[in-house]
Structure 1
Amino acid sequence: MQKLEEKGGFYLPEMNWLSRCLSVSHQNQKKILMHPVVQVFLLLKWKKISALLWLSILYHIIWLMLYTYFNVDVYLIHCPFRFHKDNRTTSHDNTNQELIASCDVRNHYTHLSALLWLLYTITVSIVFKEIYEISTSNNVTQYFLKLENIGQWILAGIVFLTSVPVFQVDNSYEVQIYDWQYQASSFGILLACFLILNQIGKIPSFGRYVLILATVIRSFSMFMVTFASILIAFMLSFHILMPEKDEFSDFPWNFVKILVMMTGEINHDDVFHSKLGNLQLPFPISTKLLFAIFVALVTIVLFNLLIGLTVSDIQGLQTGARLSSLSVQVEEMHLMEAFLLSDRVQRLLKALGKHGLLQYFLVNGLDFENGKMKMDVDVRIDEIPKHLHDDIRRLSKNFYSETDDNEYDECDGGTEESEDEINLKDFSISCIQNAIKLNNKLNVVLDKH
């Protein structure tokens, strides 16, 4: 089934409609993406387009690792920061004092210069890619709500800010670095490593682990927001009772000390039995009582509750990660296909006489019939993963059962359905009909053996 647009003879994208499933309710999204026929289609689509996705992932990882290497080379090896009085120099407005470090890179300038221009080239290409995504996005707001996109824009800015010292080297080959550039470099490396982890999460075999981590982080964030008032209360109470203790008097950064104590790092002896303990504890009885309450309520109860809430349901986390992994897979394949089958690319390939190459990236498993999307995956049995065989047989067997007929009615609770929800019903029925065809193929294979 070769799908060509009636006007212009362009190939039609296959992932547009499945990408729309990402915006429907979680229950119906699960019914579609976890459907065995849809999983077969996604598996075939991944085989078709995975090479390009791997190149994209590898390109981003090279960019991030190259930036990390540049920072280590400049800010850690050749120009490490050393704090001493001579580092202080007057800024341009002669009103503020700013830390600055100087180092001679004469022997390494060729290496650093080549590394810098390579980093600039890749960064500019990444920026143009993001601009293209914005220009082709149907929802620009949704684009900027993705942490990955925000992170890439921030890192692109940090790349130029932290590379300025090497870029501005004159004939003296002396690099001058301000203190804020060291700080930007450290956070840039951290951001780059998180973005590398995000790229690894796009690989199906590793994606679920990254998504489980993301789920746990969200649970932790909600937990901390919920019980932040208790931690803030202890932070202020310790600050009032122990104003001479450095670890509790540095408001509001003593909140970090509270978080460390929450994990069990109390340092009880340092607080109550140090040489200056009596001088630094003006209210010893109240302080000890407050410590006892903190240990019981925060260190024992809240911390164990946090662990229980975030990692207790491992099976549920794995199931949710599987669905999230499929969602990421659909989104990434949709973006790549949108680029490959864009009008500009297809016109260019037509002009070069290579337009037929695009058919390689099509599974030809989705089609329109009477204005409705239908699934019609025609595959060999050996291409269907064995763990999906039982699901296909079950769907085929129960196709006419009352449970399947009312499946969506039960989850919708009788509410009025949107157009997308109605289309999902039609699509689901089409998937089940396709499951019957695949089941018949399975039966033929079994009969032969």
Structure 2
Amino acid sequence: MTGRHHLEVAVPLDRTISLNVHNRHGGAAAASRSPSSLKDRWYSFRHRPGGGGGGGGGGDQRRRSNVEEFLFMESLPDAPDADGPPSAAGQEIELSITIRKDTIRRDLMDSMRTCNGRLQLMELVELDEFDPGGVQPPPNQSELDRLFCWAVYIGAQAECLDALHECGANLHYSHCGNITAVHLAAFMGNAEALRWLIKKKCDIDTIQSGYTPLHSAVMGNALETTKILIDQRCKVTDTVLHCAVQANSVECVKYLLNIGIDPNSLDTNGNTPLHLAADKGYTECLKLLLAKSNKTINLKSKSRQSTALHMAAENGYTECVQILLHSGSSHTAVNNKNQTALHLAAKAQCAESVVILLELGAEVNAIDIDKRTALHSAVCKAFLSFHVVEVLVKWGANVNIKDRYGYAPLHIAALNELSQCVDFLIIKGADISSRTIGGMSALSIINRKTPTSINTIKKKFDQAITLNDQASAKEVELIMDFRYLLQNPSQGEIILLHTLEECGQKSMLEHPLCKAFLYLKWQKIRRFYFVRLVFDAIFVLLLTSYVMTALAHDCYNKSKNITDHQKITDNQVLNESETQNACRLNVNMLDSQLISHIIIEFVWYILLVFTIIIIIRKLIGTTGFTSVKQYFLNITNIVEWFVVASVFLTSFVYGNKTYDWQNPIGAFAVLFGWSNLMVMIGQLPIFGTYIAMFTKVQKEFAKLLLAYSCLLIGFTISFCTLFPTSNDFNNPLIGIAKVLVMMTGELDIDLLLNSEESPIIFNISAYITFILFIVFVTVVLMNLLVGIAVHDIQGLHKTADLSKLVRQTQLIHSQEQALFQGCLPRRVINFFNWSARVTPSAYRVVLYVKPLNPTEKRLPKYIMEDALNIARQQRLNTVDYKQAMLENKMENKALVEEIKHLKEIVQNQQDLLLQLINKSS
């Protein structure tokens, strides 16, 4: 193993992160993996400091001490067999020790430079040529102290140590204030130097930055010095075993367990040695600890409440996960986020660990504190996520479950641009109409992040149409499975199709599956729309009759002998006899009488009942909108609320009479009421195209009028200047209305005739202006408008079928919102479920139709033909069908050959028979 595959990073003692990619999964299988593979490099990247690997302790751990920085050797694999050939593990140990020795060597030399010491003295000690008497000038105290540490570091002979000690070297000198010679000898495994120091009465229990020489020995994987210290009855604390596990010092761990160190002890962070071994993926240490005791196998750490299984799963250590599970670790245990080991294994994208957990009974749909499942965790990262998602779905993961924010796995996969996962989830039935709490649909995210997955939705639709044309069947039978369209029952049956229309995928409504469902749905829900249409028509008729009688002809006041002198003065056109005739009700052919105020009041009270029902319906309908702003941005809501308010504003109840100011309100109410009724009729598929034409021409005319408004204003002011005495142009506001009338071709030539008495210059100007108006406005502008309207109408005819489907979807969706989203009694909603849904009892429906049967009337012929073509194409594209066809062809060929062979045999027998007959004769 080369050095670039074992990266060493100085991190806290109890949270050191191993970047040894070969030891990630442990065992021979992991060791045999190519170290240069992309997967291995990704594992190394994920477990770099501050990266995603983190382990179980995380932020719970202490800051790195100086001892750790100076001594701690990075996590090592198992020691090689002393009797066998050097293995890859042994080479790795040697490399790690070399790296750490080089670090210590550099630090000691830097320390010598810092005190202005002579590096030549260190070279002499290393070459065993140091003579204290031959050095001039003699070494000072700083140099002696550092030379002594250097001698211990390189494993100098006892004579060298004696010489330095005699020169005055301080045996208790603490290098850089954090490590003594005893620590250094223990860490480096220099048994001779350690025995010499012990002989000189050096304290073997000295603590530097919280660590004793015994800690240093196990951190350096030095079994011999560890035994020496323990034989000398050094103080053995429980944290020694933690340090040994952190360093993956297998022999030291085994030795410490044999002498009785408690394997279940806790460090300051609440971690046992088992937690640390699982967090690092040290399988040998894990086995040793579990063999000694597994009482704390399900013990949780302090802050994150993680078990050893959580830590192993989080870092993707498959072999550790397997060992822990077989040793009795609970796969149902949860951490502080209510996450099971399966959540963490899925997030680590370790498919092997996920499979092991599921095989041993882990709940695939368990939810955490945010109501997220393992499938949510699996799609949080890009690398290797598909394999984990595939495993989870195979084991029954719910692809449509939402978290507390309304995000399904499909939302998260699309947000992370995991197109492969998005395609897979859609094929497995993920609901593209699923919405978050904020109202964001999965399809809207797919449109932006993974647009290539749109084709997968069409493929899913295609898969829902199949043929059942087995040899035993008498007729070709078409199977249309609507289950994919009906995954969100709480939002209605049409919600998926409405989402397609809302997100700009209107063309997908032309798919035979969508058209068939829309047809069936319309057959169910149209009765409710017709009821509403008749109800609104009666309401508008009642409103019209009331406005015409009570307001337009003032019948209410006249029937009560109330005279409004102001109204008579303002309405010069109507005289008394005319108003009386307008208010007369013909009782029979010979007699008539004034309409009684009682009849008008009766009509208004009936109108009031209808109005209250409409108010209740409108209030219930507000639940179908996500915000007040969205509700009032709908122009239909504004119009309907104005009409409703006008019923109260035009009433007689305020003073037992009607008033002049109520007339314009009533006029606008009637206009808006009939206009709204027109729009409702236009929502019917049969009339929708004509209303769409009307709306389209309106928009184009508005844009055209805005573009040429300056020209029209110019002509209006010109006419007001040239014809100041005309009643039509004595006011610019009236003049603009007259110009609009003249645009339609209603040209008033009397304007020119009446101006002949004016001076010649005025007449010439009037003629020129009038002719320019005819050319530029009446001819050019109006013909331009007609041409644009004709062009738009032709375009609407080309897309008439699609427009019909879009309007039908919008209409059905609005009806479902009104029927199912309101605060209606349960019995009423159950009635609507029974009568308005295609599938009232269950959201699973499969329709069987016979497209070639002329008596089949459940679907239109053109829909069944399109569906049949797709089903046949699907069959031709399947490998199984091709294989079956090939096998049938081969069988037919073999049968033909057999028939030929039988014919030849029969022919030969006939020839032989003829020969026998001829011989006998």
Q: Which moved more, 1:100-109 or 1:213-222?
A: 100-109
Q: Does 1:24 align with 2:503?
A: yes
Counterpart pick for 2:745 among 264, 279, 285: 264
- Aligned pair in 2 of structure 1 residues 400, 237: CA closer, same or farther (>3 Å)? farther
Residue in 2 that maps onto 1:247 = 728
Deviation at 1:68, TM superposition (A): 1.0
Tell me, in whole angstroms, the C-alpha distance in 1 between the residues paired with 2:628 and 2:801: 27
After superposition, residues 137-286 of structure 1 pair within 5 angstroms as 137-163=625-651, 165=652, 167-168=653-654, 170=656, 175-178=657-660, 180-268=661-749, 270-274=750-754, 277-279=756-758, 283-286=762-765
Counterpart pick for 1:298 among 747, 756, 777: 777
- Contact preservation (8 Å) 1:208, 1:322: no
Q: Does 1:314 align with 2:797?
A: no
1:333-377 superposed Cα distances (whole Å, 9 cap, x missing partner)? 2233234444854x723xx9x948724433249x99xxxxxx976
Alignment-mate amino acid for residue 305 of structure 1: L
- Contact preservation (8 Å) 1:271, 1:277: no
Deviation at 1:303, TM superposition (A): 0.8
Counterpart pick for 1:88 among 545, 566, 572: 566
Counterpart pick for 2:814 among 329, 335, 343: 335
Tell me, in whole angstroms, the C-alpha distance in 2 between the residues paired with 1:15 and 1:281: 72
Alignment-mate amino acid for residue 362 of structure 1: R
Report the secondary structure of 2:683's partner residue. coil
Alignment-mate amino acid for residue 388 of structure 1: I
Residue in 1 that maps onto 2:550 = 74
Q: Which moved more, 1:323-332 or 1:49-58?
A: 323-332
After superposition, residues 343-422 of structure 1 pair within 5 angstroms as 344-345=823-824, 348-349=826-827, 355=830, 358-364=833-839, 378-381=847-850, 382=856, 383-396=858-871
Tell me, in whole angstroms, the C-alpha distance in 1 between the residues paired with 2:544 and 2:790: 32
- Aligned pair in 2 of structure 1 residues 114, 341: CA closer, same or farther (>3 Å)? same
Deviation at 1:306, TM superposition (A): 0.7
Counterpart pick for 1:39 among 500, 515, 526: 515
Tell me, in whole angstroms, the C-alpha distance in 2 between the residues paired with 1:86 and 1:356: 53
Tell me, in whole angstroms, the C-alpha distance in 1 between the residues paired with 2:655 and 2:557: 18
Deviation at 1:78, TM superposition (A): 5.1
After superposition, residues 77-116 of structure 1 pair within 5 angstroms as 77=553, 79=555, 87-88=565-566, 108-116=596-604
- Aligned pair in 2 of structure 1 residues 246, 109: CA closer, same or farther (>3 Å)? closer
Report the secondary structure of 1:157's partner residue. helix
Tell me, in whole angstroms, the C-alpha distance in 1 between the residues paired with 2:866 and 2:495: 25
Alignment-mate amino acid for residue 392 of structure 1: A
Deviation at 1:38, TM superposition (A): 0.9
Report the secondary structure of 1:363's partner residue. coil
Deviation at 1:37, TM superposition (A): 2.1
- Aligned pair in 2 of structure 1 residues 86, 44: CA closer, same or farther (>3 Å)? closer
The structure where helix makes up a greater share of residues is 1
Report the secondary structure of 2:729's partner residue. helix
Tell me, in whole angstroms, the C-alpha distance in 1 between the residues paired with 2:835 and 2:849: 17
Deviation at 1:273, TM superposition (A): 1.6
Deviation at 1:74, TM superposition (A): 1.8
- Aligned pair in 2 of structure 1 residues 286, 343: CA closer, same or farther (>3 Å)? closer
Deviation at 1:110, TM superposition (A): 2.2
Deviation at 1:313, TM superposition (A): 4.5
Deviation at 1:261, TM superposition (A): 1.4
Of structures 1 and 2, the one scoring higher in RCO (CA 8 A, sep 6+) is 1
Deviation at 1:318, TM superposition (A): 2.7
- Contact preservation (8 Å) 1:211, 1:321: no
Counterpart pick for 1:62 among 538, 542, 551: 538
CA RMSD of aligned residues (A): 3.8
1:389-446 superposed Cα distances (whole Å, 9 cap, x missing partner)? 44334545666999xxxxxxxxxxxxxxxxxxxxxxxxxxxxxxxxxxxxxxxxxxxx
Tell me, in whole angstroms, the C-alpha distance in 1 between the residues paired with 2:557 and 2:766: 40
Alignment-mate amino acid for residue 692 of structure 2: L
Tell me, in whole angstroms, the C-alpha distance in 1 between the residues paired with 2:738 and 2:519: 49
Length-normalised TM-score, structure 1:
0.70
Report the secondary structure of 1:378's partner residue. strand
Tell me, in whole angstroms, the C-alpha distance in 1 between the residues paired with 2:482 and 2:721: 75
- Contact preservation (8 Å) 1:53, 1:336: yes
1:178-224 superposed Cα distances (whole Å, 9 cap, x missing partner)? 2x222222222211110111121122222222222111211211221
Alignment-mate amino acid for residue 198 of structure 1: V
- Aligned pair in 2 of structure 1 residues 182, 339: CA closer, same or farther (>3 Å)? closer
1:274-333 superposed Cα distances (whole Å, 9 cap, x missing partner)? 3x5424986221221111211111111111111111124533223445434433322232
Query: Gapped runs of 5+ residues in structure 2?
Result: 1-480, 484-488, 584-593, 851-855, 878-921
Tell me, in whole angstroms, the C-alpha distance in 2 between the residues paired with 1:272 and 1:401: 78
Tell me, in whole angstroms, the C-alpha distance in 2 between the residues paired with 1:254 and 1:285: 21
Tell me, in whole angstroms, the C-alpha distance in 1 between the residues paired with 2:620 and 2:839: 27
- Contact preservation (8 Å) 2:719, 2:729: yes
1:12-55 superposed Cα distances (whole Å, 9 cap, x missing partner)? 62122222223222xx21x1222232111111001111111211
Q: Which moved more, 1:39-48 or 1:306-315?
A: 306-315
Residue in 2 that maps onto 1:429 = none
Deviation at 1:126, TM superposition (A): 1.0
Identical-residue share of aligned pairs (%): 26
Tell me, in whole angstroms, the C-alpha distance in 2 between the residues paired with 1:80 and 1:343: 39
- Contact preservation (8 Å) 1:37, 1:377: no
- Aligned pair in 2 of structure 1 residues 293, 210: CA closer, same or farther (>3 Å)? same
Q: Does 1:121 align with 2:609?
A: yes
- Contact preservation (8 Å) 2:492, 2:820: yes
Q: Does 1:132 align with 2:620?
A: yes
1:126-163 superposed Cα distances (whole Å, 9 cap, x missing partner)? 12221222244224333222222111011111121112
Tell me, in whole angstroms, the C-alpha distance in 2 between the residues paired with 1:2 and 1:386: 19
- Aligned pair in 2 of structure 1 residues 73, 227: CA closer, same or farther (>3 Å)? same
- Aligned pair in 2 of structure 1 residues 335, 296: CA closer, same or farther (>3 Å)? closer
- Aligned pair in 2 of structure 1 residues 379, 110: CA closer, same or farther (>3 Å)? farther
Alignment-mate amino acid for residue 334 of structure 1: H
Tell me, in whole angstroms, the C-alpha distance in 2 between the residues paired with 1:293 and 1:2: 63
- Contact preservation (8 Å) 1:364, 1:377: no
Report the secondary structure of 2:708's partner residue. helix
Deviation at 1:256, TM superposition (A): 1.1
